[in-house]
Amino acid sequence: MRYLVFVTLLWAVSFNLIGVFLAGRVDSDFAVLTRVLLAGLAFLPFLRWRGVPRPFIVGTVLAGAMQFGITYLLLYRAYGFLSVAEVLLFTIFTPVYITLINDALARRFSPWATASAIAAVLGSLIIRYDNLSGHFLTGFLLLQLANLTFAAGQVGYKHLVARYPSGQPQHRTFGFFFAGALLVALPSYLAFGNPARLPTDATQWGVLVFMGLGASALGFYLWNKGACLVDAGTLGIMNNMHIPAGLLINLLLWHSDANLPRLLAGAAVMLAALMLNLRFGDRDRIPVRA
């Protein structure tokens, strides 16, 4: 749980940095490719092939392609159609996708996990519901695809670790995750990237380095490690905790307008859902070696 809380705060900061310094300024394909390359290089010295089952390698590559590569290419593009508030609003459905995918893979129905995910969505709606722009359908669809691939990557990796228990620590094999993301990010940049929209100042380059080594390398590793240690309902709820955290950081650092009573009310609903799920939810935690 502590891993998910830490990464929630890390990604809340990252979400604001993208909106303030990168979105609309730096080519989205280049931004994603840079993050993938930096994160992959960070894990390259730890990578081990021997003794790792081939299906585990393939599955980790696919998880990285979905959870990082496809998700972030779609997310960055969605900024071109939606306001930041709308992007936040449309990410609230991720917990529902997580519980549905997890139940489908486990061939069961978990009412507490589903109820917790719906409660997390309601809490997020309390925080972020606002008037929507007239031309948001494209952005909405892009974000739903991003939510779906992000959820599928998390649940897929969680089940992969359970199916192929290994004596190797997770950081020895997590480089395959970023290899999968690279298989998506590199062709996308070569096909659609705009070299005229590369970073133009030290601040933008600094944000990209932070996003690559912090939000991507450390963030995705700890998030997926944490995902293997909690049940699907808790994982779904934590996927929406970046909304109140991100808005609070935006309010404190950039002094943006925010409805504080709605922020507190929505956060309270989400925390209540988390506590109820921790108390009554299914215990499908998967132990992994640190």
The per-residue pLDDT string of the chain (290 residues; one tens digit each, 9 = 90 and over) reads 789 999 988 888 887 788 778 877 899 899 999 999 999 999 999 998 888 889 999 999 999 999 999 999 998 888 778 766 677 767 878 888 888 888 888 788 778 777 877 887 787 778 666 666 666 778 888 988 999 999 999 999 998 988 888 777 889 999 999 999 999 999 999 999 999 999 989 999 999 999 999 999 999 999 999 998 888 888 888 888 777 777 777 677 665 666 677 767 877 887 787 777 767 765 554 444 44
Report in angstroms the alpha-carbon separations of 164 from 96, 174, 204: 26, 14, 40
What lies within 8 Å, CB to CB, of 71 at 6+ separation is: 146, 149, 150, 153
Report how far apart, in Å, the C-alpha atoms of 77 and of each of 82, 83, 232 are: 9, 12, 28
Helix axes 71-78, 28-43, angle to 10 degrees: 150
3-state SS, residue 131: coil
d(CA 115, CA 286): 21
Structure token digits, residue 11: 């990604």
